[in-house]
Amino acid sequence: GAGVSQTPSNKVTEKGKYVELRCDPISGHTALYWYRQSLGQGPEFLIYFQGTGAADDSGLPNDRFFAVRPEGSVSTLKIQRTERGDSAVYLCASSETGGQKDTQYFGPGTRLTVL
């Protein structure tokens, strides 16, 4: 079946602009995760949704970052007043129910470049 998809695959924006990144999880998966990966580093956790609600947003770096999942399926990561340090690959993953025994499946990522 279809895996996790993310759009756009690449996004170039200017410092100070607003961006939205979209994630379509595997159909039926109730848990959805966002991670961020800087060059040469492993992915870093940002936020975890269980259904429509954010169960853990401890990884969001500051209040410029916000994510929603209004119908419990598609999720959007929103970044306000982008800074050059926000440049990274943003990865989305989903799993059937959440929890440590539940395997997360990742999308291909969105490469964000802030000029």
Range 26-44 burial, b when 16+ CB lie within 10 A, else e:
beebbbbbbbbeeeeeebe
65 binds other proteins (CB under 8 A): no
**First CA to last CA across the chain, in angstroms?**
37
Contact residue for other proteins among 75, 109, 112, 114 (CB under 8 A): 109
Q: Which residue is it, tokens 């419990």?
A: 72
91 binds other proteins (CB under 8 A): yes
Task: Find the shortest distance in angstroms from Cβ 60 to other proteins.
Answer: 12
Identify residues 42-61 at the interface with other proteins (CB under 8 A): 42-45, 48, 55-56, 59
83 binds other proteins (CB under 8 A): no
